[in-house]
């Protein structure tokens, strides 16, 4: 497996181990950072890399910069050029996971909005360990953040304090991961991934007003499910007790890809195995991101 050599700070390539940010920057003191995790998949047929749904990742990042009132933004062609340079400079020979962070690197009082800086890092990433076995989830006693407090819809570093509390609690309680509820007790999402479940043949996911990140993988699943089956995913409020009626469940996200959920609160999901809809969507997803399927070429930016 390849190792990262260089990362990029403000457009300059620097040795991976030498990256520096001031500890009194607002990025650190007030978590004034928005970020993205983007994957560049190795395409077996051509040997090229394809950044998956880069435009959508950049759009979400730009809205985050706006909401945090950063005093500058970065446009999509510039970020693409930076990521291309970064990936080529690291000479990867397998899939790449890119972390792109934009933050206030200036120091000062809470309302400081600049100077703004960015870091892009390219790293290898192994397949998540629960991809084959499935994972157990425990419903967290930590509620998901509220939209009008710290909007989960944007990918701000500050939101991950809430996610970490749930993830750490789940681990200490013996689960593989957490599933969070809104303050109203409705199903929201996992700390770093969105949630889907199948009930009586219907694929269901919490609505965009359920305290979730507007996940790009979630959108990919919704789109592909419709294209493959001619059926719609139900995007709606999910009660907690519906979880125990699920025949199948899975998490999805750029980093997690598709992870089957085989137990919730120690109850088996369906028969406790990986269900057929989860398998079908998972196979389709990997064929799509690697360009094995020609569908949606606009989702793959070739490098
Ligand atoms: N929810 C949260 C809280 C996440 O951190 C992630 C990972 N980015 C996701 C959902 C999945 O989002 P995406 O599919 O855009 O990676």
Q: 193 CA to middle of ligand 1, Å?
A: 5
The domain made up of 6-123 is a member of CATH 3.30.470.10:
yes
Is the shortest distance between the CB of 64 and ligand 1 below 6 Å? no
Is the shortest distance between the CB of 220 and ligand 1 below 6 Å? no
Band (pLDDT 50/70/90 cuts) for residue 128 is confident
pLDDT at 158 over 90: yes
Is the shortest distance between the CB of 162 and ligand 1 below 6 Å? no
Q: Give the chain as a DSSP string.
A: -----EEEETTEEEEGGG----TTBHHHHS--EEEEEEEEEE-TTTS-EEEETHHHHHHHHHHHHHHTT-S----HHHHHHHHHHHHHHH--SS-EEEEEEEEE--BSSTT----EEEEEEEE--PPPTHHHH-EEEEEEEEEPPPTTTS-TTS-BTTHHHHHHHHHHHHHHTT-SEEEEE-TTSBB--BTTBEEEEEETTEEEEE-TTSS----HHHHHHHHHHHHHHS---EEE--BGGGGGG-SEEEEEETTTEEEEEEEETTEESTTSS--HHHHHHHHHHHHHHTTSS-S-GGGEEE-
pLDDT, position 45: 85
Q: 202 CA to middle of ligand 1, Å?
A: 23
Homologous superfamily in CATH for domain 135-289: D-amino Acid Aminotransferase, subunit A, domain 2 (3.20.10.10)
Report which ligand 1 atom has the smallest distance to the Cα of 36: 8
As a whole number, mean pLDDT of residues 116-139 equals 94
pLDDT tens for 230-245 read: 999 999 999 999 999 9
pLDDT at 75 over 90: yes
Q: Whose CA is nearest to atom 3 of ligand 1?
A: 192
Q: 192 CA to middle of ligand 1, Å?
A: 5
Band (pLDDT 50/70/90 cuts) for residue 125 is confident
As a whole number, mean pLDDT of residues 70-78 equals 95
Is the shortest distance between the CB of 193 and ligand 1 below 6 Å? yes
Report which ligand 1 atom has the smallest distance to the Cα of 191: 3
pLDDT tens for 214-231 read: 999 999 999 999 999 999
As a whole number, mean pLDDT of residues 2-24 equals 96
pLDDT at 127 over 90: no
Domain ranges of the chain: 6-123, 135-289
As a whole number, mean pLDDT of residues 108-124 equals 97
Q: Whose CA is nearest to atom 10 of ligand 1?
A: 193
Band (pLDDT 50/70/90 cuts) for residue 126 is confident
pLDDT tens for 81-107 read: 999 999 999 999 999 999 999 999 999
As a whole number, mean pLDDT of residues 273-278 equals 97
Whether this model's pTM surpasses 0.85 = yes
């Amino acid at each position: 497996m390849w190792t990262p050599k260089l990362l990029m700070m403000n457009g300059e390539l620097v040795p991976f181990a030498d990256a520096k940010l001031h500890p009194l920057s607002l990025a650190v003191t007030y978590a004034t950072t928005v970020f993205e995790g983007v994957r560049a998949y190795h395409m077996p047929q051509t040997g090229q890399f394809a950044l998956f749904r880069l435009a959508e990742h950049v759009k979400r990042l730009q809205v985050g910069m706006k909401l945090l009132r950063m005093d500058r933004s970065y446009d999509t062609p510039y970020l693409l050029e930076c990521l291309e340079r970064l990936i080529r400079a690291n000479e990867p020979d397998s899939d790449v996971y890119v972390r792109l962070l934009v933050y206030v690197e200036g120091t000062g009082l809470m309302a400081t909005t600049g100077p703004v800086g960015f870091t892009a890092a390219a790293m290898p990433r192994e397949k998540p360990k629960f991809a084959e076995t499935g994972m157990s989830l425990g419903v967290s006693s930590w509620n998901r953040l509220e939209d009008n407090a710290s909007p989960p819809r944007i990918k701000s570093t500050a939101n991950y304090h809430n996610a970490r509390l749930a993830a750490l609690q789940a681990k200490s309680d013996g689960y593989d991961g957490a599933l969070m509820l809104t303050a109203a007790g409705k199903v929201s999402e996992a700390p770093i991934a969105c949630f889907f479940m199948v009930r009586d043949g219907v694929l269901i996911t919490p609505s965009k007003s359920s305290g979730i990140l507007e996940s790009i993988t979630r959108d990919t699943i919704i789109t592909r499910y419709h294209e493959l089956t001619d059926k719609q995913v139900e995007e709606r409020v999910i009660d907690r007790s519906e979880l125990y009626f699920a025949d199948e469940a899975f998490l999805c996200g750029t980093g997690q890809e598709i992870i089957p959920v085989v137990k919730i609160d120690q109850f088996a999901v369906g028969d406790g195995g990986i269900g057929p809809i989860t398998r079908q969507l998972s196979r389709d997803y990997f064929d799509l991101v690697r360009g094995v399927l020609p569908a949606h070429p606009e989702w793959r930016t070739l490098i």
